[in-house]
Amino acid sequence: MVAPMNWIFLQVKNPITDVTSAGSYLPIAIQLIFAILFVGAMMALTHWLGPKRNTADKLENFASGIESHGDARQPMAIKYFLVAILFVLFDVEVIFFYPYAINFRQLGWDGFFAVLMFVGFFLAGFFYIIKKGALNWED
């Protein structure tokens, strides 16, 4: 007769019952440290053991097989960046309408007037940038 295997080594002797304690994060910290060390070691090994033959073909910039023409550092109109920043600004402001849309019944008239005030500020900023000509592409 074969003796039953002893599976006690797979059981945790003192499980952590308080998940808010710092000890419950120890396995995550160990895994993070191990991952960082592993990535660092692999990068160092490939740097030290890899081939170091720098030929003209290897040092040439690769642009999808297309010959590069001229310099990529050409001046770009500042209007492009201004419109991009304004888009992000107004896009983020529109995100603030979502909580109101979800809770508009619970917020009542106070919430409605707060959103009207927010829309007023929003439109004031929009009219200001139109008046300043920030969205006009031709000077």
The predicted pLDDT at position 81 comes to: 80
Residue 59 has pLDDT above 70, yes or no: yes
In the chain, where are the structural domains located?
A: 77-139
User: pLDDT tens for residues 83-112?
Assistant: 788 888 888 888 888 888 888 888 889 989
CA angle, corner 130, sides to 127 and 132, nearest 5?
A: 110
The predicted pLDDT at position 31 comes to: 96
Contact (Cβ atoms closer than 8 angstroms) between residue 129 and residue 122: no
Query: Between 101 and 10, where is the model more confident?
Result: 101
Fold of 77-139: Methane Monooxygenase Hydroxylase; Chain G, domain 1 (1.20.58)
* Neighbouring residues of 76: CB distance < 8 A, sequence distance ≥ 6: none
Query: Structure pTM?
Result: 0.41
DSSP letter (8 states) at residue 23 = G
Length of the chain: 139
